[in-house]
Amino acid sequence: MYWNVYSPEEWKVRAAAVAAVDARRKDVERRTIDRVVVDDSAGEQAHALRGENATEGFFEGRKTREARGGWFSYELKIAGDAPVTLAATYRGSEGRRRVFDVLVDDQKIATESLEYHPTEELDKEYRVPDAITR
């Protein structure tokens, strides 16, 4: 087992960073209309998981999904005419830079370029254009 060792000042910085991530995630949860939990196979199937070359993995004890040279998709609900933001959490310990497109209804809304961030989860949000959701 490995332990992180912090000085008192480093611990203050680390604790503040953890609190900020927790607050951000609670805000996202408050705004959530629909959610896919990759750890839940039934939930993925209920959201019409489809893909090509999509595989499962594990990071920090949680199941992950990726598609090297392929793709995967889910069907998510929206709330009428309300603006929609897609939120995703990516793992950061891949060991290499990853570049991929984020699509909604086959329309690219972002190109993501993730750098190597060992032992981190990276939260990203993407504003979905109104023309796609209405």
pLDDT in tens, 96-133: 778 899 999 999 999 998 876 766 778 899 999 999 88
pLDDT digits (tens, 9 = 90+) for 35-58: 998 878 898 999 999 999 988 887
Prediction pTM value: 0.76
pLDDT of residue 64: 82
82-101: pLDDT as tens digits: 889 999 988 776 667 788 99
Q: What is the residue-averaged pLDDT of the chain?
A: 87
Residue 54: CA count within 13 A, CB half-sphere: 13
**Alpha-carbon span 94 to 114, nearest angstrom:** 9
